[in-house]
Structure 1
Amino acid sequence: MAEQNGNLQKEINNIVWRACDTFRGTIDPSQYKDYILVMLFVKYLSDLHRDRYDALKEQFGDDEAMIQRRLQRERFVVPEGCSYYDLYEKRNKDDVGEQINKALEALEDANKKKLAGVFRNIDFNNQHSLGETKDRNRRLKNLLEDFHDERLDLRPSRIGSADIIGNCYLFLISHFASDAGKKGGEFYTPDEIAELLARLVKPESGDRICDPTCGSGGLLVKAAEQVEDGDFAVFGQEINGGTRALAKMNMFLHGIDNATVEWGDTLNNPKLIENDALQKFNVVVANPPFSLDKWGADDAQNDQYARYHRGIPPKSKADWAFITHMVETAVNDGGRVGVVVPHGVLFRGSSEGKIREAMIKENLLDAVVGLPEKLFFGTGIPAAILIFKTGRERKDVLFIDASREFESGTKQNRLSEANMGKILQTYEKYETTEKYSYVAPFEEIKENDFNLNIPRYVDTFEPEPEVDLAAVTQEIEETEAALVEVQSRIKGYLAELGIDGTGGGDNE
């Protein structure tokens, strides 16, 4: 069964990926991803609806009124004329883009609690993105026909596990991020980084999980998957409306229907509010934009939620602003925060140094994990993961230098399961390992002026091997003797040929 599902997964992934040929070379991947992913989602809703209709038809026969009433209670409602199959029938119309827009709007309206705002940021009739009418219609027709492949039948009764659709969605997002280059890092965290971060913070049954810069939602999905009994609540916020829509669809395709994903600027306009205060979460994870400039430092002094009581980060680098927000939204006892950061966060001074010092003195920092270079889209620099915990009992900090252990790739490096396993095991044991990890007492960190630069704590220096002078001398002598012998043979060969081997020529 696992092999069968694996083959089906690959088949579906490949079919949908080939649908991207409609746009390649004419539209940037960071844009055409929206059209592909929305169409996949609509196809999924349509096949889900078709499956339920067939089941109800078998149950109630020709009682169409009863069937329609029952369909109105389903997980998603698909109004008449709004399914993928309805759109496919309209693929040759001159206004096919407008027809798709109207169907998406009706789908939103029929599922307001779940799909509000999901499709409003995508325009299938956009001349700027899709070209003039003739070209636009041709591309949309091709797109609809690509998804009509009979092997792309996404009915649950056919494919079984709903994970196949969610996995396909993540597969597409990862490939779009790779093709989009620098822009890819704005909406996607590499799968193994998301997995590692989720396993480091260990979400548990009953936890509220949050990502305040959630992108397309991969970190939230990975964190939620750690809770085996499904008893969790998911929250996110994303500044880009189109990317927020991707996150919403991602949640649904992974069966997380109760996710709250807000649209807005987390630092300047946090939307996850409860009783006029920041909501609190058991687990907070994020891969915020590195060293974001112009993040709102001028207004931070008057922040109504008093997040910056440890100090205000510099105007040109928002890293500690995001970290501060995350720590402030963790529950007061037992909260876990995991955040991906550039290495400058570990050692830069001034206001950042003061914030770092304050958090260490408050005994919030639990671990610093150094990662290899070239793991992330959009930047080749190595990053680190910081783990914070509220209500810690121990006073030391674990440093892990995992920068040298990875699988090489052409565009990017990646962490293997063994690489991740070593990090997780070391964190679990919380122990010093030669040239890999070090448990630093508070006093040592204080002596280092609260500088967290990993080489200060984990010594990975490999000394040059000692040179055996006697052996080297003997090797040189043996080489010289061999050279004399070779030269002698060459002179002999030249003499046999009647050639003067002393260096003079016959033309003198």
Structure 2
Amino acid sequence: MATLQQRDELHKTIWSMADELRGAVGGWEFKAYVLGTLFYRFISENLTDYINKLQKDAGVDGFDYAELSDEEAESARQQMVEEKGFFILPSQLFQNVCKTCTDDDNLNMTLSKIFTAIEGSAMGTESEDDMKGLFSDFNVDSTQLGGDVKTRNKLISKVLLKVRDMDLGDDFQDNKIDAFGDAYEFLMTMYASNAGKSGGEFFTPQEVSELLARLTAADGHTIRSVYDPACGSGSLLLKFSKTIGKENPALKYYGQEINPTTYNLCRINMFLHNINYDNFSSLSMPS
């Protein structure tokens, strides 16, 4: 899918979700649900594709991790935590939760337990700090979603299904756009004018980020690390990944961000692009 088509698809879906939640969740808070759901989808697909590829390379045809039982999948937990930094059971995958979300009277509890389990899968490992709090802004029990559980679950299920139906290509990490960063920038643009709700935040347009990365790429083979003191959602770091990082897979990425929510978004974004805990370090407050 071409770049403009991907962006158009992304923006139309975000507008559609915003319309579904109109009158329930304020625009600035809505951002957390959109990006949190995008992350949940992508991290599920990322792990599924990774395991399926391992099985295919091992000569196992037609294998689909999403179709395994949780008991069968447990044998992969340790390896996945070591290699990916997290683990998700098949029943907890976004694509499987979406199959029953409209009929799940306890969807809020289902998601809460899943998010806790995903973050908890890294507990006691090197990736613990990198996974901690990644879903903290996705409040499944917010009264802004509705006055009762049934109403809240109905809205959450609509968001899940709309994100599920987004067409962002077969392999999101190879997309020509930074889908996650683009969604963040689009949401910033939509709501930054709401009575100072932007909190003084500014983002670097992706075109500027790409120019900076390309100007540096001439000496890419000599660069060992990239640092952004105001990393936002990580757009600039990802542009370096797609230029210098291609010839230097050991490149280290460092980012600082004063806004806790945006700090989480950056960590999520790096995970989505296979820049895992062992190649990326971040600080929530500038030192």
TM-score, normalised to structure 1, is 0.44
Partner of 2:262: 243
- Among 173, 181, 197, the alignment partner of 2:192 is 181
Distance 2:28 2:216 in 1: 30
Q: How does 1:89-238 map to 2 (within 5 A)?
A: 89-112=100-123, 113=127, 114-127=130-143, 129-133=144-148, 134-149=150-165, 152=167, 159-160=170-171, 162-164=173-175, 167-182=178-193, 183=198, 186=201, 188-199=203-214, 204-205=220-221, 206-227=223-244, 228-230=246-248, 231-238=250-257
The CA distance in 1 between the partners of 2:87 and 2:238, in whole Å, is 24
Q: 1:60 to 1:102 in 2, by over 3 A?
A: same
After superposition, the Cα gap between the structure-2 partners of 1:186 and 1:25, relative to the gap in structure 1 and judged at 3 Å, is farther
Give the Cα–Cα distance (whole angstroms) in 2 for the partners of residues 190 and 244 of structure 1.
18
> Which structure has the highest helix share of the two?
2
Q: Post-superposition shift, 1:107?
A: 0.7
1:73 to 79, 92, 108: 79
Contact kept, 8 Å, 2:101 with 2:107, in 1: the verdict is yes
Q: Return the offset for 1:83.
A: 1.4
Distance verdict in 2 for CA 1:241–1:92, change over 3 Å? farther
Deviation at 1:61, TM superposition (A): 8.4
Q: C-alpha separation between the residues in 1 aligned to 2:205 and 2:75?
A: 43
1:41 matched residue in structure 2: 39
Structure having the higher Rg: 1
1:66 Cα offset (Å): 7.5
Post-superposition CA distance 1:390-420 (Å, at most 9, x none): xxxxxxxxxxxxxxxxxxxxxxxxxxxxxxx
Q: Which residue of 2 aligns with 1:82?
A: 92
State the 1:254 CA deviation.
Answer: 2.5
1:161 Cα deviation after fit: 5.8
SS of match in other structure, 2:220:
coil
Counterpart residue identity of residue 247, structure 2: D
- Is contact 2:35-2:180 (8 Å) kept? yes
- Gaps of at least 5 residues in structure 2 are none
Counterpart of 2:37, as a letter, is: M
Deviation of 1:5 after TM superposition, in Å, equals 4.9
What is the match of residue 59 of structure 1? 60
State the shift of 1:160 in Å.
Answer: 3.9
Counterpart-to-counterpart distance in 1, 2:177 and 2:132: 20
Question: Structure 2 vs 1, CA of residues 61 and 68 (structure 1 numbering), >3 Å: closer, same or farther?
Answer: farther
> How far did 1:175 drift?
0.9
Aligned length: 257
The structure richer in strand per residue is 1
SS of 2:262 mapped into structure 1: helix
Q: Specify the alignment match of 2:10 in structure 1.
A: 13
Percent pairwise identity: 26
Name the aligned partner's letter for residue 79 of structure 2.
R
Q: Distance in 1 between matches of 2:190 and 2:23?
A: 11
For 1:441-480, list aligned pairs within 5 A: none
SS of aligned partner of 1:225: helix
- Provide, for residues 233-270 of structure 1, a one-character-per-residue CA deviation record: whole Å limited to 9, x for no partner: 11112222211110011112223222112212x1xxx1
The one-letter code sitting in structure 2 at the alignment partner of 1:193 is V
Distance in 2, Cα, partners of 1:60 & 1:244: 40
Mapped to 2, the partners of 1:84 and 1:165 lie a distance apart of 23
> What is the distance in 2 between the residues matched to 1:253 and 1:159?
14
Letter of the structure 1 residue corresponding to residue 236 of structure 2? L
One-letter amino acid matched to 1:119: F
Q: What is residue 383 of structure 1 aligned with on the other side?
A: none
CA distance in 2, matches of 1:61, 1:196: 42
Larger relative contact order (Cα-Cα within 8 Å, sequence gap ≥ 6): 2
**Quick one: which amino acid aligns to residue 179 of structure 2?**
C
Aligned 8 A contact 2:73 2:90 in 1: no
Asked whether 1:28 is paired with 2:26, we answer yes
Question: Aligned partners of 1:185, 1:207: CA distance in 2, in Å?
Answer: 32
Root-mean-square deviation (CA, aligned residues, Å) is 3.4
Amino acid at match of 1:79: L
| Distance in structure 2 (CA, Å) of the matches to 1:250 and 1:259 | 11
Q: Is the 8 A contact 1:94 1:137 kept in 2?
A: yes
Q: How many Å separate the matches in 2 of 1:125 and 1:191?
A: 34
Maintained 8 Å contact 2:3/2:177:
no
**Scaled by the length of structure 2, what TM-score is found?**
0.74
SS at match of 2:31: helix
Pick closer, same or farther for the CA change 1:45–1:15 going to 2, 3 Å.
farther
Partner secondary structure for residue 78 of structure 1 = coil
Rounded to whole Å, the distance in 2 between the matches of 1:165 and 1:30 is: 27
Q: Which runs of 5+ in 1 are unaligned?
A: 271-508
